[in-house]
Structure 1
Amino acid sequence: MNKLVLTFLVLLMLFVTGCSQETGVGQAAPSTLDQIKERKKLIIGTSPGYPPFEMRDKERNFVGYDIDLGKAIAESLKVDVEFKEFEFSGLIPALQTGDIDMVISGVTIRGDRALSVSFSNPYYTSGQVLMIQKGDKATKSWKDLDQPGKKIGVSQGTTGALLAKQLYKQAEVLDFDGFTSASIALKGGQIDGVVFDEPGIRMYEVMNADSVKGVYELISNENLGIAVRLNDFAMVNWINSFLYSYRGGAAEQASFAKWFQSNDWINTVEQTNG
């Protein structure tokens, strides 16, 4: 290699190195974890209306099992926390555009969603069940409604919606903008059933025992996870480490007992009876 070629290569390497330092080429994008620490605030996206996971109380404060989890994460990070409300279908887009740092909203870990976001390890195991009118004596299983003329309501964008559209071959599956809207349609007789997460239906039945009831035959088993930006491995690793200590700990046990083993909170939250 002659001196002219060698000199050219050295100059080229210096130029590329300088450009990389100026533009950040080749450097890893900052993790959401770093941004949260610098901002000193954690911004969480959630979709109230899913008792007992996320709701609003009568003072319009966010409350529920997922809300307690979000507050515990912020406390562990020693930062403030802000919850932002979205329709469920708008949560992942909000995460992708950077409006929020993470989603804690009863989100089921699914392969198709994992193409758009990254998930933590599961923090709760749930499942889909059917809710029907209180006076329906004929329906004993979700399969009993799979017949022509029957209508099944689902919350658009949820796992229940996807599952119902796969399983119901003869009944008509109708999208609603949320679980509450579908439940109101059921109570009004516009539809024959609602497919949704088992904890949400149990709580809704408690609050509307005179009009609806659950058919607690699990249609599926699902794991709920915290969603963060795609491939933000630092954020995922931190959350997983946090969950190892939080799940089964004193704070989580107190939250579970409050929201799942007691009905004392029901009259403190916004009622969505329609």
Structure 2
Amino acid sequence: MNKIIFVLLSLGAALLVSACSRSADGIGAAETHIFDKSGNRLEAVREAGKLVIGISADYAPFAFSVEEDDGAISYQGSDVELGKYIAEQLGVEAEFQEMEMEECLKAAKEGTVDLVLLGMLPEESRLAYVDFTDPYYQPGRQVFLVKKAQRNEYKELEDFAGATVAAQYGTLQAQLVTEQLSKSYMELVDTISEGIEMVNTGRADALALDAQVTDDILDEYSSLALAAAEMEYEQEGVVGGVVEREPELLEAVNQVIDEVVEDGLYLGWMDTAIRMAVSEREADSRGITSQESLPESSRASQAAGSD
């Protein structure tokens, strides 16, 4: 049996998860958003001029919170960018309601959000709350980030016996570690950045990750490397969830998702989100602002966009 240790490392108020919904990114205060389910949800969204999207902002790089220099909270991440893009293509504004994953699904069931983007896998139990969109992200190889000096110590999964393996809470990686590394100790973390720090400081021997998110991490941390051992996984794509029995809205969202996947947009958003999440963690540890934590090219780009 795995020894599961919940690590509740706070990243400050910006990363606290509320059971009550909140809105951000300048969209305004949260409002009740319940439509007559006998009507056409897509038409109602367009009439309202907004697409209300449920996210769980403790799940970098899919969605996470950032405290800006003025103290305002903004939502970042690949799912946030996807939500903005879907809303833009529908001709409306995106309004994000942040809550825990279970609360997001309940909100979709009750009709208070139109769409949920939670970096979630299409588990059958979730069909009781939403209709699944087409997949928009395909997890890659399931790998382990370790110290470079120790990468040859982990050639097989059995080599992790007695080791401490970090995994992000509620993720596929946490599930696979539970199932496949029964003789290791799993330590759950809130964010990938926390797991990286644990490996760097020796508090964990490895961090379980999707291989598709590791390139920027390895560029940032020259002391880390991938172990030869990998976990077995039959791929299921990450999906969103639309309010049940709304075929017009589901079809419209799927058309946008198909375009996003075909053009490779989502992988680009994820790459940016990973770099931002890592920078935020580094900035937090040094006590500098979110703007100062960004690479110079990113700060210049944001400044140009604000003119």
> Structure 1 length normalisation: TM-score?
0.69
Match of 2:258 among 221, 244, 252: 244
Q: Given residue 41 of structure 1, which amino acid in structure 2 is its aligned partner?
A: K
Match of 1:125 among 124, 129, 138: 138
Q: Given residue 228 of structure 1, which amino acid in structure 2 is its aligned partner?
A: V
- Distance in 1, Cα, partners of 2:218 & 2:137: 21
Q: Given residue 38 of structure 1, which amino acid in structure 2 is its aligned partner?
A: E
% same residue: 22
CA 255–158 in structure 1, closer or farther in 2 if over 3 Å, else same: closer
Partner of 1:40: 49
Partner of 2:187: 174
Q: Please tell me whether residue 219 in structure 1 is matched to residue 232 in structure 2.
A: yes
Q: Given residue 133 of structure 1, which amino acid in structure 2 is its aligned partner?
A: K
Q: Deviations over 1:147-187 (max 9, x none)?
A: 1x212222222222222211112112232333333333333
Secondary structure at 1:165 match in 2: helix
- Distance in 2, Cα, partners of 1:157 & 1:267: 21
Tell me the CA shift for residue 36 of structure 1: 2.0
- Distance in 2, Cα, partners of 1:191 & 1:28: 49
Tell me the CA shift for residue 123 of structure 1: 1.6
- Distance in 2, Cα, partners of 1:156 & 1:109: 17
CA 174–75 in structure 1, closer or farther in 2 if over 3 Å, else same: same
Q: Deviations over 1:193-248 (max 9, x none)?
A: 222333333333333x1343334746323312122234443332222233334432
Partner of 1:50: 60
Q: How many residues align?
A: 240
Ranges of 4+ aligned residues in structure 1 off by more than 6 Å:
none
Q: Please tell me whether residue 195 in structure 1 is matched to residue 211 in structure 2.
A: no
Partner of 2:79: 66
Partner of 1:162: 175
Tell me the CA shift for residue 79 of structure 1: 0.6
Greater Cα shift, 95-104 or 125-134: 95-104
Q: Deviations over 1:131-151 (max 9, x none)?
A: 22333233444614431x212
Q: Deviations over 1:54-110 (max 9, x none)?
A: 456784654454333222211121111123444556543454455532222432333
CA 134–197 in structure 1, closer or farther in 2 if over 3 Å, else same: same
CA 254–93 in structure 1, closer or farther in 2 if over 3 Å, else same: closer
Structure 2, unmatched stretches of 5+, are 1-35, 286-307
Q: Please tell me whether residue 184 in structure 1 is matched to residue 212 in structure 2.
A: no
Partner of 2:150: 136
The answer to whether the 8 A contact 1:89-1:157 is kept is no
CA 197–137 in structure 1, closer or farther in 2 if over 3 Å, else same: closer
> Structure 2 length normalisation: TM-score?
0.63
CA 99–162 in structure 1, closer or farther in 2 if over 3 Å, else same: farther
CA 146–238 in structure 1, closer or farther in 2 if over 3 Å, else same: same
Output the aligned Cα RMSD. 3.5
CA 195–121 in structure 1, closer or farther in 2 if over 3 Å, else same: same
- Distance in 1, Cα, partners of 2:101 & 2:258: 27
Partner of 1:5: none
Q: Please tell me whether residue 146 in structure 1 is matched to residue 167 in structure 2.
A: no
- Distance in 1, Cα, partners of 2:102 & 2:133: 19
